[in-house]
């Protein structure tokens, strides 16, 4: 049993000992009384460390030293040790609790509270992300996003969605230049469809995904495959500048 690694690890965790202390302690429990040399031989702990470990165990109340020649060590009843460990843990917990309670009165804690009240914006998750089901609602949402664009529109499409996305852009493209909106259309090469682009830069890209990004703040991901029925088409909308910018950086990096 003393050689069982998991057994030793469990004792180490339960009684808050290091591995040498566990090995010496269990060796002594198996003998009841023994000298340092005997314990070193039984436990496998180096003799050079054995006395330090025994001294540590004695201070913690796990063993008792019996004066004599040679000095012998007695194992304390595990029940008594368990109660002592429980008491020590409770005392430490009480001390930590008192320390944490006193933190409330410090200037640093009061400053943290002030920062929380004045500098933290509480976010309603439902206001920054949602799922959209059905092609009609997805198209409507894309149009709504593009209509609110102020600086940039990025559309990434695969072969199947090219013509559909251009149709959605149709009424907005003439005004992109007037509003100073930089629009990019990432899609596979298709001369017939690409000719329909006005005021939109086409970047040849063989995409296996489809999404729309507006002003580096909003993004709509298409998550359905091409074979799904229109009523079951699903997209995920996210309104988070941090997330959208991160995705844009990764996407731009994939083009290099």
pLDDT of 3 > 70? The answer is no
- Provide the pLDDT for residue 126: 64
H or E element: which one contains 18? none
Domains of the chain: 5-79 (1.10.10.10), 127-254 (3.30.870.10)
Task: Express each pLDDT in 173-226 by its tens digit.
Answer: 988 988 999 998 888 888 888 888 888 888 888 877 789 999 988 999 888 777
H or E element: which one contains 219? strand 218-222
Task: Express each pLDDT in 56-97 by its tens digit.
Answer: 999 888 888 888 888 899 988 888 888 888 888 888 888 888
pLDDT of 7 > 50? The answer is yes
237, 130 contact by CB (below 8 A): yes
Residues 10-38: what's their mean pLDDT?
87
- Provide the pLDDT for residue 1: 40
160 CB-near residues (< 8 Å, 6+ apart) = 226
């Amino acid at each position: 049993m003393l050689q069982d690694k998991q057994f030793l690890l469990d004792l180490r965790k339960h009684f808050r000992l290091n591995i040498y202390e566990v090995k010496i302690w269990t060796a002594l429990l198996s003998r009841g009384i023994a000298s340092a040399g005997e314990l070193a031989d039984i436990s496998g702990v180096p003799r050079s460390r054995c006395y330090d470990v025994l001294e540590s165990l004695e201070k913690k109340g796990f063993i008792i030293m019996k004066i004599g020649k040679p000095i012998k060590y007695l194992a304390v009843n595990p029940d008594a040790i368990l109660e002592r460990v429980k008491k020590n843990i409770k005392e430490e917990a009480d001390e930590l609790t008192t320390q944490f309670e006193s933190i409330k009165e410090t200037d640093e804690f009061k400053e943290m509270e002030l920062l929380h009240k004045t500098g933290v914006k509480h976010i309603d998750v439902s206001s920054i992300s949602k799922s959209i089901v059905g092609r009609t609602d997805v198209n409507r949402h894309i149009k709504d996003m593009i209509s609110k664009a102020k600086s940039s529109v990025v559309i990434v499409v695969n072969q199947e969605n090219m013509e559909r996305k251009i149709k959605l852009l149709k009424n907005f493209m003439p005004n992109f230049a007037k509003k100073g909106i930089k629009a990019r259309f990432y899609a596979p090469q298709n001369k017939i469809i690409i000719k329909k682009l006005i005021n939109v830069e086409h970047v040849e890209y063989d995409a296996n995904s489809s999404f729309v990004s507006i002003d580096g703040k909003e993004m709509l991901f298409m998550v359905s495959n091409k074979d799904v029925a229109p009523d079951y088409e699903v997209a995920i909308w996210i309104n988070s500048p941090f997330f959208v910018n991160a995705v844009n950086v990764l996407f731009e990096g994939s083009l290099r």
